[in-house]
């Protein structure tokens, strides 16, 4: 009997050691597939890293700023957040410097009121945008990026109120990323997507973890690199965003490039394979 208990104990110990560690990500509010893509990529990265971690959503939804505060606190309720980077965020948290949406989050087209759908038709450069007030979430790095180029920005305290502000005329336009704007327009039929202009600033959304959890950061980095190497990263990207990229017709728009003062020197801009460019349009299925 004693030998049997020893065998059972060893088997249980082996199972326990092999059980993946659960990491929690936030249920972030938003429209469309942006959050779904981040979750799918998180699961892919952890799978490619060897399966020692397993991701689960937090019990309740939370806005981005709260999720980042929870992550920094290290209390265990949130273990990883996928969000846009800034120098300040990279100081407080540990980034995995592989752009989750290949920099597509920095390709911005305007969400407009339906009765102002021609608002940007005559825009030919940055100066033509200066008279208009843009809306962004108050805790988004985009606020500082846009203001750095002289654009007027009215922050929204809550993501969902930005659309009400636009519909009420408190802002003129909302620069939204190519991978967000179509779903947002579908959820707000009183709004339309501008067909004329695209802003582009270099930026990335990364997976961030608590600075005391370098093992998780390394697993995510290893898994993302493996997914890049075998093509599964790009396939997932195109599955979620190929249709939006085609619909945006980026090569037919007035392109306005803006600098990003919030990038750190560690941003992997030299790794061209990590970033979406207009040259990639011919590879979009």
* Number of independent structural domains in the chain: 2
State the virtual CA torsion across 163, 166, 168, 169 in degrees, nearest 10.
Answer: 170
Q: 67 near 28, Cβ under 8 Å?
A: yes
pLDDT at 13: 45
User: Residue 9: inside a domain, yes or no?
Assistant: no
pLDDT at 32: 46
Domain shared by 192 and 120, yes or no? yes
pLDDT at 29: 57
Q: Give the pLDDT of the chain (285 residues) as one tens digit per residue.
A: 554 454 444 444 444 456 899 999 997 655 444 568 999 999 999 999 998 999 998 887 788 888 999 999 988 789 999 999 999 999 999 999 999 999 999 999 999 999 999 999 999 999 999 999 999 999 899 999 999 999 999 999 988 999 999 999 999 999 999 999 999 999 999 999 999 999 999 999 999 999 999 999 999 999 999 999 999 999 999 999 999 999 999 999 999 999 999 999 999 999 999 999 999 998 888
Instruction: Supply the CATH number for residue 169's domain.
Output: 3.40.190.10
Domain shared by 66 and 207, yes or no? yes
Domain ranges, residue 154 = 106-200
Domain shared by 117 and 168, yes or no? yes
Domain shared by 224 and 112, yes or no? no
Q: How many CA atoms lie within 13 A of 281 on its CB side?
A: 11
Domain shared by 212 and 182, yes or no? no
Domain shared by 126 and 62, yes or no? no
């Amino acid at each position: 009997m004693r030998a049997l208990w020893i065998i059972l104990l060893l088997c249980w110990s082996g199972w326990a050691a092999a059980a993946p560690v659960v990491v929690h990500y936030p249920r972030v509010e938003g429209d469309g597939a942006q959050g779904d893509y981040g979750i799918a990529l998180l699961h892919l990265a952890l799978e490619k890293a060897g399966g020692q971690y397993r991701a689960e959503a937090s019990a309740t939804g939370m806005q981005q700023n709260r999720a980042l505060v929870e992550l920094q606190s290290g209390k265990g309720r949130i273990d990883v957040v996928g969000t846009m980077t800034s120098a300040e965020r990279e100081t407080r948290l540990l980034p995995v410097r592989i752009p989750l949406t290949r920099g597509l989050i920095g390709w911005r087209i305007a969400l407009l009121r339906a009765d102002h759908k021609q608002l940007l038709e005559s825009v030919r450069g940055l100066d033509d945008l200066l008279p208009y007030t843009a809306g962004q979430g108050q805790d988004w790095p985009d606020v500082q990026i846009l203001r750095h180029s002289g654009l007027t920005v009215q922050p929204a305290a809550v993501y969902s109120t930005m659309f009400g502000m636009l519909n009420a005329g408190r802002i003129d336009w909302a620069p939204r990323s190519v991978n967000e704007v179509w779903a947002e327009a579908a959820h707000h039929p009183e709004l339309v997507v501008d067909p004329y202009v695209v802003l582009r600033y270099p930026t990335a959304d990364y997976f961030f973890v608590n600075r005391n959890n370098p093992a998780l950061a390394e697993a995510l980095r290893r898994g993302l690199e493996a997914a890049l190497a075998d093509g599964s990263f790009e396939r997932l990207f195109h599955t979620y965003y190929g249709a939006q990229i085609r619909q945006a017709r980026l090569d037919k728009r007035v392109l306005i490039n803006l600098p990003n003062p919030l990038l750190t020197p560690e941003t992997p801009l030299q790794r061209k394979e990590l970033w979406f460019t207009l040259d990639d349009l011919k590879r979009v299925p």
